[in-house]
A and B are shown apart, each in its own frame.
Chain A
Amino acid sequence: GESVGLHLPTLSVQEGDNSIINCAYSNSASDYFIWYKQESGKGPQFIIDIRSNMDKRQGQRVTVLLNKTVKHLSLQIAATQPGDSAVYFCAERQNRDDKIIFGKGTRLHILP
């Protein structure tokens, strides 16, 4: 598959451990946030979203935390599996113009 973002920061996590991927967003007026997963050679895949009136949302094995005070978003993946190996990036919707701005991404590497 093709690699995207060869110079992305990398997080290496032992299989079975929890992963925490962080994202700093840019606009305090952003009201909607999304985490995407992109596996090598594939398009981005929606994981979970959260609106600005919430500070936590849980999905299957994933939790997103939103700290509006410091404009920080995190994605927690429980019991990381080899299939979680991918690039993860956050996106924010700037409600002023209803457009999505994507972060640069973090590569998650699973150690056996």
Chain B
Amino acid sequence: DSGVTQTPKHLITATGQRVTLRCSPRSGDLSVYWYQQSLDQGLQFLIQYYNGEERAKGNILERFSAQQFPDLHSELNLSSLELGDSALYFCASSEGGYFTDTQYFGPGTRLTVL
């Protein structure tokens, strides 16, 4: 168990809908990262927050947004969902704000868009 929790574990929704994925980092970790893992694209970095502020941005679509709250938990919002958004979404956390800091991954949320 990495200490990172993600909810829900599974999510099934329809195209055009909006969903929110939640992540609680390990105790003491200030950084939260979001990743998307699909069969054809592999694991892709979406966005990073450090102590409430956006720190780095990857291949995140404009339909997606995220935030980190004062208690350091984070939410990833996915809107106007398309079939291609079906994937595993992972959250990771680290103590520091750099990619060289060891990241601990949560168990993921499986999103299925029908």
A residues whose Cβ falls under 8 Å from a Cβ of B: 2, 4-7, 32, 41-46, 49, 89, 91, 93, 97-105
Contacts and interface: CB of A to CB of B under 8 A. Distances in A.
7 contacts: A43-B4, A43-B108, A45-B2, A46-B103, A49-B102, A91-B43, A102-B42
B58 A105 contact: no
Interface of B: 2, 4, 37, 39, 42-45, 56, 58, 88, 90, 92, 98-100, 102-108, 110
Given A2-B88, A45-B2, A46-B103, A99 B39 contact: no
Q: State the 5 A-B residue pairs at the shortest beta-carbon distance, nearest first.
A: A43-B105, A102-B43, A104-B42, A44-B105, A93-B99
B39 A6 contact: yes
Contacts of A43: 2, 4, 90, 92, 105-108
A32 B100 contact: yes
A100 B42 contact: no
Given A43-B92, A93-B100, A98 B56 contact: yes
A5 B39 contact: yes
Given A43-B90, A102-B43, A32 B99 contact: yes
Contacts of A44: 43, 90, 92, 105
